């Protein structure tokens, strides 16, 4: 008969370090967020934007190596393969290569090749941090629909001399990345592909906005994982929360929802998230399943199938492990004994006790990987109000464009709904600002002179 409990011996092996002390390990059985636990050494700062992440993802989509470096040998190999009548001609061609591959100015790229062959950052810490984001993005958005996405990107590839040259000299990937992260939000995955296909119909717009597109889909996935995991077994994969943004040219105020429920709330939600990272790896060491990347709601589903006796035994083992093993390691007094509590009460108790044992560094260092991302791509300085979650005009037009998609126009109310599907919500004040901005750019269309209905016209 199947036993439904934690496996205390396996947990002991997992959490005990070489000095026989308790170690708050993570990522061995469950990989939640692609964020480092240190502030230096492997945390990305994105000081030069998201272009190097975008470049690596485009290379992976094309079956090329994740890492690309424009060392002098790279150019020499290409030049040696060619025939030139003079040294001057050779030098001119080298300059052409550098321009085509984006070495001259990464802010003025105009082809997919320009983007794909942007070099990785020079900082080792930046490379490590960005690589975690790249692997995360690839797993949740690209891996399951790689072939379709590759076809979309291939439509944008130029079929000229440069493509022939690169196909023979750019390193192809010989290793397939092992999947680390689980797809939790299939609606985002599907929407990403649809939006990518819509963008590809306007190559110029695609190239000019691909960084913002990839960074936003990264952000909403990170954010939903944080928000939903904090709900323990009430995790909802199909009821995702949009985030209250304001436009960065608006006046911030304490009564605005973008202040109360935006950056400030997300900062609070991620503050003690490391406890989830550790706890989910503890829960993975049980007697009834070896599956990896399971969350609280997954165990709830298993236990509901197994029956009430199995659920009771499992919950009792959770309290027993915390009170007799963990508290002993961390010299803590048990706070609650098992008296028939439900599953979520047990998870919350474990979470709270783990938080008591974590160091201040866990609370200060781990969240920075997320808050740095928010500040880099969505920050509005609200003065005394601090950081406000906001969009700039370029980001707004990008997501208005994909929201309208292939339609000639959509009703304004439909635009708000489509934006919310992409994680973006506005209060009434911000909606008025957005409409005024779109109207000024001639993207608002009125059904009648009375203005009874407003439509948003296609940008693509």
pTM, to two decimals: 0.92
At 391, which helix (H) or strand (E)?
A: strand 387-391
**What local confidence, expressed as pLDDT, does residue 104 receive?**
42
**What local confidence, expressed as pLDDT, does residue 245 receive?**
97
**What local confidence, expressed as pLDDT, does residue 341 receive?**
97
The upper half-sphere exposure of residue 101, i.e. CA atoms within 13 Å in the direction of its Cβ, equals: 25
**What local confidence, expressed as pLDDT, does residue 43 receive?**
86
Do residues 115 and 51 lie in contact, with contact meaning Cβ atoms separated by under 8 Å?
Answer: yes
Structure tokens at 353: 């006790």
**What local confidence, expressed as pLDDT, does residue 382 receive?**
87
Structure tokens at 123: 């900082």
Tell the burial category of 46 from Cβ atoms under 10 Å away from its Cβ (0-12, 13-18, 19+): buried
Longest dimension (CA), the chain: 87
Name the E strands within 81-232: none
Which parts of the chain have pLDDT scores under 50?
72, 103-104, 174
Q: In angstroms, what CA-CA distances link 81 with 84, 94, 160?
A: 10, 12, 17
Q: What is the dihedral of CA 176, 179, 185, 191, to 10 degrees?
A: -10
């Amino acid at each position: 008969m199947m036993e439904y409990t934690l496996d205390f011996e396996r947990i002991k092996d997992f959490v005990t370090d070489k000095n026989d002390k308790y170690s708050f390990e993570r990522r061995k059985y469950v990989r939640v967020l692609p964020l480092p636990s240190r502030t230096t050494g492997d945390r990305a700062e994105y000081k030069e934007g998201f272009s190097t992440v975008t470049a690596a993802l485009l290379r992976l989509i094309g079956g090329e190596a994740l890492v690309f470096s424009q060392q002098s040998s790279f150019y020499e190999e290409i030049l040696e393969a060619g025939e030139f009548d003079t040294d001057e001609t050779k030098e001119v061609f080298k300059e052409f290569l550098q321009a085509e591959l984006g070495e001259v100015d990464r802010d003025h790229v105009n082809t997919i090749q320009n983007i794909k062959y942007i070099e990785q950052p020079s900082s080792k810490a930046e490379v490590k941090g960005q690589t975690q984001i790249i692997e995360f993005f690839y797993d949740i958005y690209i891996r399951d629909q790689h072939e379709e996405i590759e076809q979309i990107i291939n439509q944008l590839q130029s079929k000229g001399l440069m493509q022939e040259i690169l196909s023979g000299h750019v390193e192809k990937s010989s290793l397939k990345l092992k999947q680390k992260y689980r797809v939790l939000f299939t609606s985002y995955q599907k929407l990403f592909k649809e939006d990518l296909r819509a963008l590809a119909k306007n190559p110029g717009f695609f190239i000019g906005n691909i960084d913002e597109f990839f960074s936003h889909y990264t952000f909403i996935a990170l954010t939903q994982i944080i928000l939903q995991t904090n709900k323990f077994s009430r995790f909802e994969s199909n009821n995702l929360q949009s985030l209250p943004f304001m436009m960065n040219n608006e006046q911030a105020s304490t009564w605005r929802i973008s202040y109360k429920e935006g950056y400030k709330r997300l900062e609070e939600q991620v503050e003690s998230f490391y406890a989830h990272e550790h706890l989910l790896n503890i829960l993975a060491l049980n007697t009834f399943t070896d599956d990896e990347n399971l969350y609280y709601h997954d165990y709830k589903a298993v236990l509901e199938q197994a029956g009430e006796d199995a659920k009771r035994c499992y919950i009792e083992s959770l309290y027993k492990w915390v009170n007799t093993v963990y508290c002993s390691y961390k010299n803590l007094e048990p706070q609650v004994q098992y008296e028939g509590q439900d599953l979520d009460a047990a998870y919350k108790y474990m979470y709270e006790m783990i938080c008591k044992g974590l160091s201040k560094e866990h609370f200060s260092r781990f969240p920075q990987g997320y808050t740095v991302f928010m500040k880099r791509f969505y920050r509005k300085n609200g003065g005394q109000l601090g950081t406000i979650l906001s969009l700039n005009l370029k980001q707004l037009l990008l997501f208005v464009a994909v929201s309208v998609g292939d339609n000639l126009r959509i009703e304004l109310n439909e635009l708000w709904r489509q934006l919310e599907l992409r994680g973006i919500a506005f209060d009434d004040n911000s909606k008025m600002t957005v409409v005024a901005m779109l109207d000024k750019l001639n993207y608002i269309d009125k059904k009648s002179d009375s203005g009874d209905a407003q439509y948003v016209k296609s940008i693509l």
